[in-house]
Structure 1
């Protein structure tokens, strides 16, 4: 279960830390904002002091400009300068009144300053500006009278402006004190926050971690009595609780460690014994031996492993449906004789075969136990385990015990695995026997085809000649009989040579699997017997072939040379081998050749060519024969690389 689902939100350590950090953040943010606000107001007040302070100077300047206009001849430049000064003073009042956040420029937001500013501004609008305007607009005595009224009012107006400036300055001094106080408060907050956070971290994190580290250190020193105090309900409290539970469990496990080691050691020893039995049985079943010796050795091994007092191995005959005992030990001669052959369904063992299940019979719990030969022999427990191969039933084996014996699921699985190993070994023997039978059958077929293609045809010719000789002798045709005798002698000689050639071909062997050496020997023998020139070229010879492939290639070459000797009337034979990637063998002669269409019409009657094709098919090779009348014959054998078997 997730720790976050066990604790309420307010009890979590993360909630506490985040809450404290947020609290300090809010306080710091408030102090910083207050400092920034005071700084912004101080900047605005400073600009307001500058702007209002400039009114004093501009008031005196305006009085000077008006005095020049009154006392001196008026010029356009003097008038324009005076009007500009009036507008400048008016703009200064407007700027202070409106304020400007971008500069910043603003009056302090106190009531006294606002009232004082309104009075100064009202004095300017209602008295000073109208009188200055009257001086500019009037002439002569009226201008002089206006000037005399205006001049004594300048000093009081400047005094009012100066009072406003002093009020703003005092407010700025107060706000400066507040700014310093807020900065000191911010420093105090930083120092206090650091102290508080440090204490908080020590309290809620460092101290629990140190305790946990100390507990782990003591536990590494095999002190399993250590326990941590659970002082909170947060994550560290849960860790302390989990640590204590772990310590309880480790203390319990350490106390029973020796017993557990003994149990594990015994289990490992049992597993090693099982593996040794499986390895020994598998190695034994791979040996070349008969089924009786195989089953007897298998029975001895499993009986010794399970301390069985007796046992037997029975094999199922699929044709008769009987179970034959092929090996037994520890059973009486009477039991071995009575149960040498069982029908499926008979007795307890035959019934287990019918149900196709492995069973363990407790004869002492059976009412009819005394009727069974096993019980009369003194056995209390009889087990039946099947011999299977590819889920097919091959037989079963028994283990007999004189005392009551039960099997664990692990032992049953081991016995079933052993039964499968024995089943595979028996099936391999059967397959090897069938393979030998098939090989013998194929070789007999090839011998028959060879005899039919050579000796049978010669004997047929001799039979015809003998009949003609008999007719000639009966009719007294001595000259005809004398003419037949050489043909008979030639036919007998040819049949004799055919027999010798067949015997030599069937007895051909490869010297240590060397195809090239065998081919050279065959070619040399052909050259001596026929006098035909043979050119053998082997190029780019690769790794050696498997023995079966080499033998079939040699037989194909022998058959091709035999056909050349009998039918080609050739003067030269070329044999080429190419083993760069795929294997290619080409036999070419310069004989009389034959018509391919005629060969196709003969079909299977041309046994020699069919024998070569069958031998090529055995090794997954292709055989091509090309010939034309008068242009010789070419026999090409091609074996693809993927069908090649290494020697």
Structure 2
């Protein structure tokens, strides 16, 4: 862009340069004149001194002429000639004629010419005639003294003119310095005034504007636009603040939008948290589901949300739950209208979105969503609703699987109880039934009393054994795994046996992280409790140690060592099924149970459980 001359003249740089140039020019001129005056006046003092010495030479010549007229000195002629030569040299070959020529001073030139003329034509010829012998010394003395006063006056006039010329130079230097100082003062004042209007005021405006912007007032603008760099700076500042204000407003809008999104996200997260904590824990509670749907409608900002669900999967007889019970609206009371394919827009009879609730093979129903005024769902709304539908799907599937697992566990436990009763009480009752039939036969045949007594004793022994085994089964069935893991359950069992028996029982557990599953933990707990109970009741042990560790293959090894009487070669007894039950539980775990006699005395019961097999069975 071309720059005009007016703009250049008002430029800050140009004005500063011009001010410095003017001040520097004045100072340079003053210094130049000082140097000139100094150089031109450096010979004035010598010239004045030499001119003043001419008067001394005049009187000395007069004295020498008097001596010569009286013949009082032999060398007076030589001295007179020397004095005459000095005066001639000073008038013609000294600094005096040089100063007179350079001064360009007419009065000085005239007075110098008069002194020189008087000397060459009046005074010097008088002296020279006596030296040449043409005139007597008395006559020369008389004639010289007759013109001496006038000549001395002429010399005084020349000295005065030399002095005035020198003083004129000094006065010129002083006047020049004074004028220079006055001009510099005026120039400085002018520049200060210009600087105040062109620089200080705009800078003050810019400073106030910067302070206003610093305080957050982005709407402040600079109103002074000088035609220089400060004007460009002010315009740039205004443009910058306008841009900042626009960006700030944009950022404020973005922050507000982000804040709304964050608030909405927080509401959605809190709602999902409540969904996973409350609804997921009890998905069949109708009251809770209605509250859940009302909150979901508020959080997702839609017109309507309906839930058609059935606790049993893959059955079309849905139970209807909705946020609006107006019979004229869509899907109210008739879930088949809104039973749409997953994530597909509804037909004209149901303008909304249907989200399935279920897994790959099981369908528990669907969640129908109707936006406001037929609008499309926003991405965050779709994501929230899909997440809720997935959460409900997981909850329904989890509770159904949990119910099936409970039923399977109940059936398994009933099977276990049936086997326990069959292997123990049923056999004992069969034995007693046979003994009762035998007793009837002996009584009917009037057998000997001792045979009847033997039969009654056998029957009594069977009844006692059955009762004892019944108590053992009751204790076994009452054992529960209330602790959070197997280690806590074993610690609780060891503490219980320590309190109920005189034996000292210790636990060394080193298989943390090797979970066997809930069923596996229960079977292991039963086997170990039975082993410790046998060591306390049958082996009369004083010290019992329980070690739980892993072998090199990763299998879990449970070892019960006691210092009791030991175990016989055939530990099984009639009407006693504890060891048999322990082996059966070990087989269910896929492991092995081993009984052995320790070298140092006592019995060792060792259960080995493969971790993978136990998990699969559990």
Task: Tell me the TM-score range normalised by the shorter chain.
Answer: 0.3 to 0.5
Rg larger for: 2
TM superposition score normalised by structure 2: 0.48
